[in-house]
Chains A and B, each alone.
Chain A
C-alpha cells in the first residue's frame, strides 16, 4: 500500500524539473535533498512536478519548506506544478502558495 518516494531530474533549456512520485514523508528526505542539490547545481530555476505524488504529510510539508528556504538562500527560483486539488488547498492553508509559484501543469509553467 505504501508508495515509496522516487524522484528523477530533467534538465531543460532554462530550468531543471524534478519529477516527484510516491509519498513525501520522513522517508523521502534523503532522496529529495539529493535530487534538489543536483538540480541546484545545474540551473537557477527549479521546478517540482507533483503529478505523481500520492501523499504529502506534515513532515513532507516541512521538507518542501526546507527546500524553499534553501532556494531563497542561494537565489534559486522555485516553482511547482501538478498538485492535486487537495494539496493545492494544503499549499494555500499553509501559505506556501504565497512564496512559491504554482502552475496547473508543465505546459503552463512560466518562470
Chain B
C-alpha cells in the first residue's frame, strides 16, 4: 500500500460547495518529482457528484462516461481511480490515485484496502474539518465581539455624558441594552431660553441594525431640537428627514418634550412611543399625544400637548422593553404593573431604582432580556420647609392643626375666617367658606380620624393671584365622593331615608371647586374659592 501512496497523489477536498477552497494535501514522494495538488471544482450539479454519492468503494475514472467537467479534469490529470470519502450521506472528499508505478492495474486487494481506508478516513476527515471550521468561527466571533465592544463604547458616547443638573429638579436615567448595542436612546437638549428638551426613542429591532439607525436618528434629532422649539415640529422634521433613508421595515418611536424648569410647564409630542406617566397628588396622568412612528410615512401630523409638573410630581418615560418583558411563566410585565408601581408611595423619589428592582423580581434570575430597556424619570422637587414656596405669588395664611373632638369644627371655622380677613371676601363669600370649612373639618374628624384625639386635623389656607385654597388633611382611610349625590329631600321628609347626609353636598355647593387628594397615609380635601369671580 505504501507503494501506491508514494507513487500517486491525492487530493482531499472539503464540502462540495466549497471545493474551490478545499485544502489540497499532496504528499511528496521521495522517488518522484513533487506532485501538484489537483484544483478540482466539483459543483453540486455536476453529474459526477450524483454518481460518486450513489456508488460505494473505488471508482475507475477511465471507465466513466459522463458529461462532467470535473470528470474531464480528473482524466486530464491522469487519475486512474478515485475513492469517495462519504460520511453521513455527504461527500466530504475524494481520494484520487494515478497509475501504479509498476504500470500494472490496481489489484482487487488494492481496491479493498482503499475502500476500507476511505470508510475509516471519511469520519476522521469530517472531524478534522469541523474542528478547523470551529477555529475559523471562533476567530470570527472574537473579531465580531471585539467590534461590538467598540460599537457599544461608541454608542455610549451618543448617550448623555451627564444628567442635567436643574435646581429644584431631579432627573435619572437607566439604559439596559438586550445585546451589546441597542436601538433605545435618550437625550437632553439644554435650550437657549433656559428650557430643557428631553427625548426617549426606540428603534425597531435590536442589535447592530437598530444601533445604526439609532445613531442616525440621534444626530437628526439633535439638529432639529437646536433649530425648533415646538415638539410637534421637531418630530415632523425628523420624520421627513428619516423617511427617505431608513431601511425598509424599520421605524423609530419617539417621545419629545420641552420642559420649563422655572414653571414646570411642559409641551410634548409623541411619535408612537409608549405613553409616559405623570404622577401627581391626584393620581397618575397618561401623557397622551397622537403621532405615527418616525420613518414610516412623510408629512405626518404630530399632536402637541402640554401639562404642568407641580412640585412633588414625577414623570416616567420608558421603552416597551419594560412593559413587554416576560417572566418564566410567560406573563408580561404590562402597563398595569407599571402603573401600580408608580402609584406605590414606597417607590417615592427612587422611581427608577424601584422599577428596576421590580423588573428583576418579576423576570427572576437568569432572565434572557428580550428587548432593550430604557427609563428616564423627571421629578420636580417640593420646596423644603422654610424656603420660598414654589409659587412666588402664593402666601400661606394659616397652617395649623386641631384635635379631633366633637364641636371643634367651629374653632377651625373661626381660625380660617380670621386668616382670610383682608383678602377681599364678601360677607356672603366668607360665610360660605366658613360653613364649607366646618363641614370639611367635621368630615375629617369623624370619617378620617374617627374622633381619635391623637390624630389632629391639619388645616392650611393659601392665597395666590385670584385664588383661595383651604386644605383639610386627616389620616385617611376613606374615599370621598367627588360628585356627591343631591340628597333626596322628599324621601327624607316622607321618612323613607335618614335625614342626614348633607355635608359634602353643602361643601360642593358653597365653594367653586372641591378637590380630593387621596393618599395611603393621609387624605386631603381642598376647597377653592375664585377671588375674581365665583362664590367669594
Contact = CB atoms under 8 A, between A and B. Distances in A.
Given A27-B406, A68-B493, A95-B489, A86 B432 contact: yes
Among A2, A65, A73, A90, the one with the most B-chain Cβ atoms within 10 Å of its Cβ is A65
Contact of B502 (A61, A72, A99): A61
Q: For the complex, would chain A's binding face be called helix, strand, loop or mixed by DSSP majority?
A: helix
12 contacts: A1-B414, A57-B442, A58-B439, A61-B502, A69-B493, A69-B495, A72-B493, A84-B431, A85-B427, A86-B428, A90-B506, A94-B502
B407 A94 contact: no
A62 interface: yes
A57 B442 CA distance: 9
Contact of A59 (B492, B493, B500): B500
A16 B409 CA distance: 32
Given A72-B493, A93-B509, A2 B410 contact: yes
Interface residues of A, number: 30
Q: For the complex, would chain B's binding face be called helix, strand, loop or mixed by DSSP majority?
A: helix
A65 B492 contact: yes
Given A2-B407, A57-B438, A99-B489, A65 B495 contact: no
B499 A65 contact: yes
Nearest to B490: A99
Contacts of B431: 84-86
A89 B506 contact: no
Interface in A46-98: 55, 57-59, 61-63, 65-66, 68-69, 72-73, 84-86, 89-90, 93-96, 98
A82 to B, nearest CB: 16
Contact of A62 (B406, B442, B501): B501
A28 to B, nearest CB: 11
A62 B506 contact: no
Contacts of B500: 58-59, 62
Given A62-B499, A72-B493, A93 B407 contact: no
A35 interface: no
Given A1-B410, A26-B406, A58 B493 contact: no
A101 interface: no
B428 A58 contact: no
Given A62-B499, A62-B502, A94-B502, A57 B409 contact: yes
A96 B410 CA distance: 23
B492 A69 contact: yes
B416 to A, nearest CB: 13
Nearest to A86: B431
